[in-house]
Amino acid sequence: MRKKIIAGNWKMNKTPSEAKALVAEIKEKVAGATCDVVVCPTAICIPGVVEELKGSNVAVGAQNVHFKESGAYTGELAGNMLKEAGVTYVIIGHSERRQYFGETDETVNLRTKAALEAGLLPIVCVGESLTEREQGITDDTVRRQTKIAFLGISAEDAKKIVIAYEPVWAIGTGKTATAEQADEVCGIIRETIAGLYGKETAEAIRIQYGGSMNAKNAAELLAKPNIDGGLIGGASLKAEDFSVIVEAAK
């Protein structure tokens, strides 16, 4: 059985003091969790959050990583910097990075390799836009994104990667794919991994759903066979809602 993983993507929210206060509340509420629990604050909040979570069962993730170890890349963070700061996971290729900051399938692949090289666990995001879904090319889109993200990555390293299926049309809109729709696409992603690496690797990789999962719909989504967790946006900024989703992962 794959262990469920619930990760909170805080996006550009919370000051350092607010972040510490939030995780202080979260760690108490999820202390008995049977799934992996991750919070992904903004970079400036990482040191305080790591300090607050010491000794807890909550891991810390970053929201991005650069594909070089150092250099003239103003505003970027290297994997070794994140690792030394206490980060375990890193989100790569989120649709907002693709939409607003020029992320491509190719740079997702480079960042994924860099994260693995630094000893970080990537959470790689894939998902279709509303236009792509309406044109009936959801399958083609997620297959392409998945294949390029895993290009040149060994089966051993592939098993360390979490994939987050995030239909772009459901992020921050309040719209959610039905549990059946979400499970179907997660199944397609798993089939794609099987085509690349074989069934054993495909069965080992965890696939999250990340399109507006919340306290009300989490249980139904997490009950599906191909959904191994959630990448949570807005609901991760409320300790009570986030803890309900973690509880649903049982």
Catalytic residues, by residue number, are 94, 166
The answer to the question of whether 11 is labelled as a binding residue is: yes
Q: Is 67 helix (H, G, I), strand (E, B) or coil?
A: coil
- C-alpha 189/C-alpha 164 separation (Å) is 10
Q: Please, what sign has the CA dihedral across residues 183, 245, 120, 228? A: negative
Q: Is 73 helix (H, G, I), strand (E, B) or coil?
A: coil
- C-alpha 120/C-alpha 27 separation (Å) is 22
The answer to the question of whether 234 is labelled as a binding residue is: yes
Q: Is 74 helix (H, G, I), strand (E, B) or coil?
A: coil
The answer to the question of whether 93 is labelled as a binding residue is: no
- C-alpha 151/C-alpha 106 separation (Å) is 9
- Nearest one of 1, 3, 11, 2 to 166, comparing CA atoms: 11
- C-alpha 30/C-alpha 53 separation (Å) is 12
DSSP state of 236: G
Decide if 186 contacts 227 (C-beta within 8 A).
yes
The answer to the question of whether 10 is labelled as a binding residue is: yes
The answer to the question of whether 172 is labelled as a binding residue is: yes
- Nearest one of 96, 121, 95, 124 to 108, comparing CA atoms: 124
| Helix (H) or strand (E) segment spanning residue 160 | none
Enumerate the known binding-site residues for substrate: 9-11, 172, 212, 233-234
Q: Residues annotated in the binding site, as ranges?
A: 9-11, 172, 212, 233-234
